[in-house]
Amino acid sequence: MQSLDTYRLKLQQVVASIKAWSGFVADVARLETQDEGHGWRLAMQPLAPGACPVEMFLDGSELKCDLKVGSETYEDLSIPSLDLVLPLVQAVANGRVVTRLTRSAVTGLPIGADTLIRLADGSEIVLPGPAGAGGAADAAIETRNVHFLPYRKPDGSAV
């Protein structure tokens, strides 16, 4: 079996595991998966206000994806392993997402927006946003963290 075939098989397995897991969030979110020929798109839209939506397009031929977490979009990301996809989606559903907004204290212009996703094993995925109009060399910056809620309450019930 060629490496591209191995990758596509693994991608199919990841999509199948997400579909199997989707029963866990079916009452608190809409989860869509779609084969787009050249890759897979999955989107999870929570029903609870304050919870974080996520959308991902997984490339069908290489370890790359486009990812939208909350209102932040990251295109053409390299991912180290397809094994991170389900834990990432689960972390979002569990509310372990923070968007760190940075702006110039002098001008008020945005400098950047980073997204931090804490996986169940304690590791963290940091997605750096693009530098904004304020400029990264700005000496006086203000940072504000936006935290997202889990899709369900701690007792397991829907929010």
Q: In this structure, is residue 36 part of a structural domain? A: yes
Which structural domain range is residue 73 located in? 3-146
- The mean per-residue pLDDT over the stretch 119-141 comes to 76
Q: In this structure, is residue 68 part of a structural domain? A: yes
Residue 36: which pLDDT band, with cuts at 50, 70 and 90?
confident
What are the φ and ψ backbone dihedral angles of 84, each rounded to 5 degrees? -85, -15
Q: In this structure, is residue 60 part of a structural domain? A: yes
Q: In this structure, is residue 28 part of a structural domain? A: yes
Whole-structure pTM value: 0.88
Query: Two tokens at 123?
Result: 């590791």
Residue 41: predicted pLDDT: 95
Residue 108: predicted pLDDT: 87
Q: Is the pLDDT of residue 131 over 70?
A: no
What are the φ and ψ backbone dihedral angles of 128, each rounded to 5 degrees? -75, 130
Q: In this structure, is residue 23 part of a structural domain? A: yes
The alpha-carbon radius of gyration of the chain (Å, integer) is 17
Task: Report the number of distinct structural domains present in the chain.
Answer: 1
Residue 124: predicted pLDDT: 96
Residue 53: predicted pLDDT: 98
